[in-house]
Amino acid sequence: MLTIKNILATTDLTEEGLPSLRHGWTLATRFGAELHMFYADVLHGPLHGEMDPARTEAEVAARMDELARRIAAGDGDAARVTVRRIVERSVYPAPAVLEYAASHDVDVIVTGTHARRGISRLVLGSVAEEIVRHAGCAVLTVPTSEEERSGRIDVTSLLVPFDFSMHSRNALANAKELAAAFGARIDMLHVVEERLHPAFYGIAVQSVYDVEPEIESKAVDHMRAAYDSAVGPDGPVSFEARPGSAAREIVDFAGDVGSSMIIMGTHGLTGLDHFLLGSTTERVLRRASTPVFALKHAGRSLMGGRPDSEGTTPSEHGLSSPESSASAP
């Protein structure tokens, strides 16, 4: 069973930030968690979109009260959720969020992502990416372009990119628990990345399909077996394997089937390795119009020490698949 007691949802007090607050509220009502509505009063850079003109403390407090009322409006379970309004001053938002989360036993951070396009989306970092990369807990990123809604978010389907690793099996276990909590369907996806080799290598095989023509059907069979052996309650599930680039196929698949959430893992790479390699999770984060639940390798466990099918607990080897949750980037 998932244990979620403290959820931090960031806000910049604008309308753009409402989707992330609503997702944080939805998780809090479902798991009976305390919601920390977090505003970073920073010198440089907003959490979402453009920074509004400077506000007084009274204006900030009034705006946070208004947002809290709006996300709770029409929700019959509103009384179950305790909302803490947090204002922290910092030079930059990401460190403020990370420091607060680490010192207040936060289980999940919910934050918005910029709807960037073009070359800036591929090259420039963002506050959300920094939080995903460095947080010691799970992070749910929510596109700021998500449609404004009232009340709780309907979570009807969860996309789990799957690469058959120990960590992706743990991600699946988390997804099974989330699916049971929301009454949602799980869609498991394995992406087969074809790697073509230059002719001068003298290698006749140019595709994994040359070695194993039935790789997609075999991947589906193995995903069925992985689902059956994973801890957690069973429910509606589908399986698909397809060729292509992992991040692109994950994003496209989520759009095709209308996924409510993508659940995958990240190593949290830093420094030159991160600059050169990136990660499938962050590529998905930059492109997705679907919320992405990033479960941290060796991070804070949501599973309460529950053992997996191999006899170890999630906290012993991380919650999720490595950075390549579908196949290696």
> Which parts of the chain sit beneath pLDDT 50?
45-51, 53, 115-124, 148, 273-277, 305-329
Report yes or no: 2 and 174 within 8 Å, Cβ to Cβ: yes
Neighbouring-strand partners of residue 185: 157
pLDDT for 72:
87
pLDDT for 14:
85
Read off the pTM: 0.82
pLDDT for 276:
45
Q: Which residues of 163-174 are buried (b: 16+ CB within 10 A; e: fewer)?
A: beeebbbbbbbb
Question: How far is 14 from 329, CA to CA, in rounded Å?
Answer: 35
The token duo for 191 is: 């992406």
pLDDT for 222:
96
Question: How far is 65 from 157, CA to CA, in rounded Å?
Answer: 31
pLDDT for 15:
84
pLDDT for 226:
96
Residue/partner pairs of 172-175 with CB below 8 Å, 24 or more apart:
172/226, 172/227, 172/230, 172/232, 173/230, 173/231, 173/232, 173/303, 173/306, 173/308, 173/314, 174/2, 174/232, 174/263, 174/295, 174/302, 174/303, 174/314, 174/319, 174/320, 175/232, 175/263
Domains of the chain: 6-317 (3.40.50.12370)
pLDDT for 160:
97
